[in-house]
Amino acid sequence: MLVVAALGGNALLRRGEPMTAEAQRANAARAAAALAGLVRDGHGLVVTHGNGPQVGLLALQAAAGRPEEARPLDVLGAETEGMIGYVIEQELENALGHARPVATLLTQVVVDAADPAFARPTKPVGPGYPEAEARALARRRGWAVAPDGGGWRRVVPSPRPREIPDLKAVRLLIEGGAVVICAGGGGIPVARRPDGALVGVEAVIDKDRASALLARQLGAGALLMLTDVEGVMEGFGTPAARLLARLTPDEAAALDLPPGSMGPKVEAAREAALAGILAGIGRMEDAAAILAGRAGTLVAPGGSRGGAPRPGA
């Protein structure tokens, strides 16, 4: 089975951890160990990843220089796709004992330049701040900011992915037996000019939506969205929180979830499930167990909200 595994930005840089190369590599090694298990089980593998913390940090560094030297978000997205992809690629090669080729592909993803998301930023990027500091930074730098978890973060436009022009290259790598790392950070956001030429745009595409599009267009058998939480939780952050082990697409659509984090994951899972793709959400370390239905949240037709027993339970 071909599996598209989407690593969340928080799976590669856990909440509260410093944004250091060492922390990211340690998390990439944990991710590689889980993903290598899928390959050893005989599955084809395509890996995508988030870049919210990393692209926000690069944007901060760029803002410290002269205004004319600032790099746009599409260029920063390409930088993070190469940087994070390199680390995942190396750790996957090591975890697989160099028995399979692993390739990272810088991937352009087309969005609609008229997407209303450009007027309503929702995608969190960069580090978290206390509310007062976030609002002060917003005034000084012209940012939009919003609550995220226990703090506040900068938010940027997150238009819907419409097309993956590099899909042929992804297919060629898969056919050659490679594990492919692509569409990192949701891909490099580009729009089409009237003459068909591509041009970068100021946005960060949600990697779960891009991963669902990739899974559908590749004809994948499964889409796993791997993060640092057990799955989709009812009452998340409260003493009454409980895991929703199974959801139908209709039940998934009815959930009221944060637009910048779990919301896109559930939406992507629903889209995949409606296309006949097994969709799972859960902890990075549980990748194989989610695929087998023993952990995380599965979105599929049938079953009932949180009530279906695990296989073998």
Sequential pLDDT tens for the chain (313 residues): 999 999 986 667 776 777 788 888 998 999 999 999 999 999 999 999 988 778 777 777 766 666 666 688 899 899 999 999 999 999 999 999 999 999 999 999 999 999 999 999 988 887 789 999 999 989 988 889 999 878 998 898 999 999 999 999 999 999 999 999 999 999 999 999 999 999 999 898 999 999 999 999 999 999 999 988 899 988 777 787 899 999 999 999 999 887 657 888 999 999 999 999 999 999 999 999 999 999 999 998 764 555 443 433 3
Structure token digits, residue 216: 């559908």
Which of 56, 85, 128, 265 is catalytic? The answer is: 265
- Return the CATH class of domain 2-114+160-299: alpha beta
Q: Is the dihedral of CA 118, 121, 127, 131 positive or negative?
A: positive
Which candidate, 75, 21, 26, 29, places its Cα nearest to that of 53?
Answer: 21
27 has catalytic annotation: no
Q: Which of 9, 44, 85, 186 is catalytic?
A: 9
Per-residue tokens: 158: 């997150």
With both helix axes pointing from N to C terminus, report the angle between 73-95 and 52-63 in degrees, rounded to the nearest 10: 130
What is the structure's pLDDT at 308?
41
CA 186 – CA 184 distance, rounded (Å): 5
Token digits for 38?
């899928």
**How far, in Å, are 6, 25, 165 from residue 177 at the CA level?**
19, 25, 21
The pLDDT assigned to 307 comes to 44
Q: Which of 8, 10, 27, 260 is catalytic?
A: 10
Is the distance from CB of 280 to CB of 226 less than 8 angstroms?
A: no
Give the three-class secondary structure for 277: coil
The residue annotated as part of the active site, out of 52, 185, 207, 280, is 207
Per-residue confidence (pLDDT) for residue 277, from 0 to 100: 95
Domain boundaries, the chain: 2-114+160-299
Name the amino acid, one letter, at 38: L
Q: How far is CA 132 from the centre of its chain?
A: 28
Q: Is 207 a catalytic residue?
A: yes
Return the closest-CA partner of residue 206 out of 55, 57, 72, 62.
55
Catalytic residue status for 9: yes
Give the pLDDT confidence score for residue 234 in this predicted structure: 85
Predicted pLDDT of residue 128: 83
DSSP conformational letter for 77 = H
